Structure formats: C-alpha cells, structure tokens
C-alpha cells in the first residue's frame, strides 16, 4: 500500500467532515488517493477534531500555534527513520503523522515546542545549513521510535487533542 492510501483509509475517510458525509469522495479517495492533497486533508482532519482552527500561517498551521507534519519511515543506512523537514521556523508543537510501510499503518506523535528545539538537526545542501529537520529513528525489531517513543500517541484523536 502507499502512504496516501493508508492515510486515506485510516485518517481522512474516518475524520474529515466532507468525507464522512459523502460516499462519492470516500470512493474516489480509496480508488485514487493521489487525486487529493492528502497532507492538506490530514491537516483539516486535525482541525475538525481538535480545539483549534486551521489557519495555515507562517510557522504554524493552527490557532494554538501547533503545526502538522506527515512523513514516512524509510531505510536510512543500517537503520530506518522518518525525517520531518522544515522545522526551523515552527513556533509551537508538532503534530506528526508517520506512515510506516514496514507495518502498513500510521503512527502518531505530538512533540511540544520545547522538545522540538532539542531534537532539531541542520539540513545541509542548497539551503546552506539554514533549514532544519527532525530525524526519528525506528527500531523494527522492537517497534520502537527510540528517543521519540515518549511522544508517541495511540490514536489520531489523541494527536488532535494533544497539548
């Protein structure tokens, strides 16, 4: 399965108000999840559940100043990790949705802003080191996100409601 299909199946068709109300949207989303901007729909799902509004402003996505990020666990040398790019200007916590193709599921994390600051790494390359990222390593044997496991949540609702 693909990231977009799993996000459509496990998040959007369940939590997005327009997809809940409209079987045609659900059918299109499941038949061709790449038809939609899935990351944007995940952002809207979070706002539909959480006690904040979606604003998509510079440095944050929601009125509580948190930001939504989606990422995928990929092979990273001998290990596997999910990279969250573009965290250099974030002013609040991160609501992270992680597609894990090795488990064919989605995992969720909420990282408070103070903790984001501790885990940031520079992104080298064309940006000249001005961009920053989080590298979330995943241990397949133990199904463990190493240093980030303490931020892991059980459900999408938990992610939407996290503070």
Q: What is the pLDDT of residue 125?
A: 66
Name, in order, each residue with C-beta under 8 angstroms of 52's C-beta and a sequence gap of 6 or more. 62, 63, 64, 66
Q: What is the mean pLDDT of the chain?
A: 95
The Cα 45–Cα 18 span in angstroms is: 10
pTM exceeds 0.75 for this model: yes
Chain segment 18-69, per-residue pLDDT in tens: 999 999 999 999 999 999 999 999 999 999 999 999 999 999 999 999 999 9
Q: What is the pLDDT of residue 76?
A: 84
Architecture of domain 3-161: 3-Layer(aba) Sandwich (3.40)
Is the pLDDT score of 91 beyond 80?
A: yes
Of the candidates 114, 129, 105, 154, the residue with the CA atom closest to the CA atom of residue 5: 105
């Amino acid at each position: 399965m693909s990231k977009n299909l799993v996000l459509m199946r496990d998040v959007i068709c369940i939590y997005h108000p327009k997809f809940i109300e409209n079987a045609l949207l659900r059918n299109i989303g499941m038949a061709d999840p790449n038809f939609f901007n899935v990351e944007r729909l995940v952002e809207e799902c979070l706002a539909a559940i959480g006690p904040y509004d979606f604003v998509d402003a510079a440095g944050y996505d929601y009125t509580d100043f948190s930001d939504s990020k989606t990422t995928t666990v990929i092979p990273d040398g001998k290990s596997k990790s999910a990279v969250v790019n573009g965290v250099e200007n974030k002013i609040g916590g991160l609501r992270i949705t992680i597609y894990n193709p090795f488990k064919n599921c989605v995992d969720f994390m909420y990282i408070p802003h103070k903790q984001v600051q501790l885990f940031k790494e520079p992104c080298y390359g064309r940006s000249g080191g001005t961009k920053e990222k989080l590298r979330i390593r995943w241990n397949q044997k133990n199904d463990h996100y190493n240093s980030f496991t303490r931020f892991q949540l059980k459900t999408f609702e938990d992610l939407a409601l996290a503070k």
